[in-house]
Amino acid sequence: MKPMFFLLTALILTGGIQAQELNKVTIDAVHKDVVINRNIYGHFAEHLGRCIYDGIWVGKDSNIPHINGYRKDIVEALREMKIPVLRWPGGCFADTYHWKDGIGPKSERPKMMNYHWGGVVEDNSFGTHEFLDLCELLECEPYISANVGSGTVKEMTDWIEYMNSDQDVPMANLRKQNGREKPWNVKYLGIGNESWGCGGAMTPDYYVNLLRNYSEMAGIYGRWKLFQIGCGANGADYNWTDVLMKQRPGSMSGLSLHYYTIAGPSWGDKSPATGFEKKYYFSGIEKAMRMNELVEKHSAIMDKYDQNKRVGLMVDEWGIWTDVEPGTEPGFLFQQNSIRDALIASLTLDIFNNHADRVKMANIAQTINVLQAVVLTEGDQMILTPTYHVFKMYSVHQDAFLLQSRLICEDYEMDGRKIPALSCSASEDKDGSITLTVSNFNPDKEITLPVELVGATFDKILSATVLTAPAYNSYNSFNQPETVKPTILKSVKKTGNSTLQVVLPPRSVVAITVNK
């Protein structure tokens, strides 16, 4: 059964109704038919700017504290955030990447030009071993993007054999020669990236035939154990989804979707990352809300051909895309991260949670120093962004049962445009604890929200956390790294055996856990 999610804007009525009665969330604690896949909280690391080099990887000779070349502080932060899956090597970079250039002795690895991102020379010192060993260190699943744009089927199948085979075959023996005895048993494989654009400028009818070929061979070489993800649509290209689903190869287990929030005042215009006006705050959240429409419409097309939901919707690139920081290389996509971006993250994760019957993975772009990163670095300094804190607060939803929630809320209005002022999602973990995450998008007004559990009572509030900021454009800088960080929420109280009331500060994300 598809989970029902209601995001309603209440009408302002007359007759003495108090403001708090315009807002309420009701949580169905009985029906638990859908599990929120932990991979919805996934991340994406491309060879782009300072994401890999000077971000994740500093090398074994670095003076920065590291674990076999991986920045120690980043490894610890990602573990603490409970990163479940990491996508690599791209992105647009994936369809120019030839994996054999990134194995063997580093002194013998050939260099390549990163044509997409800044025109820098890539030395391939971070390759297959370095990435897959990182995933083991983080205890997360690797998600490999295969090169379809400039690669071959044989190149892909050799890679699969290199990573996953335990037989006496050439690629497995080459892996052993390079120092790795056991296979990594990679599960997730993307067949191309943005094949409609930087991955080959293909039509859906052309790509679906390539997918059929690559997918069949990936299945054979992967012993039919690989979770294969086909390249899906760019935003609202519903025809692409229709063609792929209508003709889908039987071994395709997932279909991707890419959507970036471009937060300028009109569609296509970017916003500054810091110091922006309130209109950019509003338009950023307004445009992020479009994700709900995209997920619903693409899901409806998928339902037409796949009523049993065997194919997952994988939103493997999403996030806000702003102007780069002044003085940085434009092709490196280094941007700061504010409380607005944290609210865009919480809103988007609520959407994915509430569509967890179809959405099985999502990967925010990107993990370190690129776009809506969770971590930023500068030399030996590291800061956690507001978006990082949202992912950590929301990690409790991973692998929990989705609880259907009915949200009635007032509007947040600006310059004659309106958006719902609140967003939420709820889940129950294996121990029976229930967590509600809710965001208040109004930057100037606290909102009182009654909460009711239907079909269950609770004993006490186990935890209550809030992420807010001094202003709607506040962010964490290297000089002030804790301007935006979670604190204990004190404005929540139990009002009955199955009810509570929470006062949501302006521009805030709240997580509340109760025990049944």
Relative to beta strand 70-71, strand 66-67 is antiparallel
Number of CB atoms found within 10 A of residue 445's CB: 15
Phi, psi of 130 (to 5 degrees): -65, -40
Q: Which residue is catalytic, options 194, 277, 325, 410?
A: 194
Whole-angstrom distance, CA of residue 307 vs CA of residue 300 = 10
Instruction: Please give the span between the terminal C-alpha atoms of the chain, in angstroms, as a whole number.
Output: 24
Closest by Cα among 382, 339, 375, 346 to 472? 339
Phi, psi of 341 (to 5 degrees): -70, -35
| Residues 411, 12 contacting (CB under 8 angstroms) | no
For residues 119-142, b (16+ Cβ closer than 10 Å) or e, as one string? ebebebbbbbbbbbbbbeebebbb
Active site residue 378: no
Q: Which residue is catalytic, options 46, 130, 317, 410?
A: 317
Active site residue 452: no
Whole-angstrom distance, CA of residue 273 vs CA of residue 326 = 10
**3-class DSSP state of 441:** coil
Phi, psi of 406 (to 5 degrees): -110, 115
DSSP per-residue letters across 472-489: TT-B--SSSTTSS--EE-
| Residues 295, 13 contacting (CB under 8 angstroms) | no
Whole-angstrom distance, CA of residue 211 vs CA of residue 439 = 40
CA distances from 341 to 398, 462, 474 (A): 21, 27, 10
The amino acid occupying position 430 is K
CA distances from 288 to 185, 284, 346, 438 (A): 35, 6, 10, 16
Q: DSSP state, 338?
A: B
| Residues 371, 319 contacting (CB under 8 angstroms) | yes
Quick check: bond before 200 cis, omega within 30? Answer: no
By annotation, the residues acting in catalysis are 194, 317
